[in-house]
Each structure stands twice: as structure tokens, then as C-alpha cells.
Chain A
Amino acid sequence: AQKITQTQPGMFVQEKEAVTLDCTYDTSDPSYGLFWYKQPSSGEMIFLIYQGSYDQQNATEGRYSLNFQKARKSANLVISASQLGDSAMYFCAMREAGTALIFGKGTTLSVSS
């Protein structure tokens, strides 16, 4: 069974609009971390934001916020005020204690002017 599910292969948004990229996860470990990475067309992996399973508040980093709903096991990435440079592939990932980082299959975001 997939541990990280990203159900949106592609998303389209206009500049300055907000967009939500979905991510659900599956774990029975009480201690885990959730990560989002951005991969532009140039190929590098860029860390965006992290949420710990025990964190009480949703993580935020600039225009990125993570909508963490623990009971639903979802960790959606919200990008506010989209920019053309946000066009990229976005990966959700999870790490349980003592294990590797497991990635979803990614969502391609296209931002148009």
C-alpha cells in the first residue's frame, strides 16, 4: 500500500491566486515528519516546508503553509499568491522514526499569467 498519496497529477492556477496541493499519508507510527519539496524543470530538489506529527500548529514558510489534519492523515501544501516561478513538480514525503524519506508521485503545478 502506498504510504504517501498525491492524487493530483497536474494542477493549473493563475498568477496571484492561491493553490492547494493534496497529500495524504498512511502510518501507524505516532512519531513522523512530513515534508514538501519543489522540483523545477532544472531538476534540483528544493526543500519547502516541514511538519512534525507532534506539532500543534500548522507550519508556515513565507508563501507556503502546510494544512495538517492529523485525524484525516492529510498534509496539504498551500501556496498563496502564486508566481510564475512556482511552476514545478511538488513532492510530498514522510519519514517515520528510523526509516527513510518516502515520497509521493508528485503533482505538476503550472502557473499562468
Chain B
Amino acid sequence: EAQVTQNPRYLITVTGKKLTVTCSQNMNHEYMSWYRQDPGLGLRQIYYSMNVEVTDKGDVPEGYKVSRKEKRNFPLILESPSPNQTSLYFCASRVGGVTNEQFFGPGTRLTVL
């Protein structure tokens, strides 16, 4: 089944404790992105990657890191999480081009205390 998977789905952590949210897709998509969703703000892009070893900042990259060592994986790293990073996070992937649908993972609900 074609899908984007994220782990963990739920995470409660404390300020400053490094964490990684994994994302994997099995559709051989070039593009992968991370979004955060906050009430009243919609989805905002954190980082994106156009292919292996090619990443770039989105609209809200501060406090996050990413890597793209393999085509299928695009982990999101929070080196020192803070409470303002409490949010719902989505990973997404797609093939190139304007028209192509973006496939979303199920979301990771992160709470930073």
C-alpha cells in the first residue's frame, strides 16, 4: 500500500530533550516536506527536500533540523525542544510538478512541557 508513515504518532517530552520524528514513504517520491499545524494558522511548512541531500527551509524552520540521506526517509529533528514547538506535525511527499497530489502522513502530535 502506498503510504507515508510517521513515528511516533504521539509524544510528550520536556524542554531541551532532543527528539526525532521519523518519516518514510514507499512511493519513490522526490519531494518531501514537513509541516506544523496550529489552531487558526493552518499548515505551515518547516522544511522541504527536493531529493536526496537537497533540503531547504520553509516558512518556520527555526528550532528544527532535517536530513535526507535516503530517498524514502526524511526525519525531523528537534535538538532542544521548547513549549512553542507543541504542535501537530505532518510529513508529506509527492512527485515533482505543479499538478501532483501531496500525500500526507497520519500526523505526530507533540507536546513539549
By a CB distance below 8 angstroms, the chain A residues around B106 are 43-44
By a CB distance below 8 angstroms, the chain A residues around B44 are 103
Say whether B98 contacts A91, CB under 8 Å.
no
**Nearest-neighbor residue (CB-CB) of A39 within chain B:** B37
Partner of A45, one of B41, B45, B98, B104: B104
Say whether A47 contacts B42, CB under 8 Å.
no
B30-56 CB contacts (< 8 Å) to partner A? 33, 35, 40-45, 48
Partner of A33, one of B41, B92, B99, B103: B99
Number of A-B pairs, beta carbon distance below 8 Å: 50
Q: How many residues of A contact B (CB 8 A)?
A: 24
A7 proximal to B (CB < 8 A): no
Write the residues of chain B forming the contact surface with A, with a CB cutoff of 8 angstroms.
Answer: 33, 35, 40-45, 48, 58, 88, 90, 92, 98-99, 101-104, 106-107, 109
**Nearest-neighbor residue (CB-CB) of A101 within chain B:** B102
Say whether B99 contacts A100, CB under 8 Å.
no
**Nearest-neighbor residue (CB-CB) of A106 within chain B:** B42
**Distance between B3 CB and nearest chain A CB, rounded to angstroms:** 11
Say whether A47 contacts B101, CB under 8 Å.
yes
Partner of B98, one of A37, A43, A52, A102: A52
By a CB distance below 8 angstroms, the chain A residues around B101 are 35, 47, 50
- Contact flag A32-B98 (CB < 8 Å), given A43-B88, A43-B106: yes
A86 proximal to B (CB < 8 A): no
**Nearest-neighbor residue (CB-CB) of B41 within chain A:** A105
By a CB distance below 8 angstroms, the chain A residues around B99 are 33, 50, 52
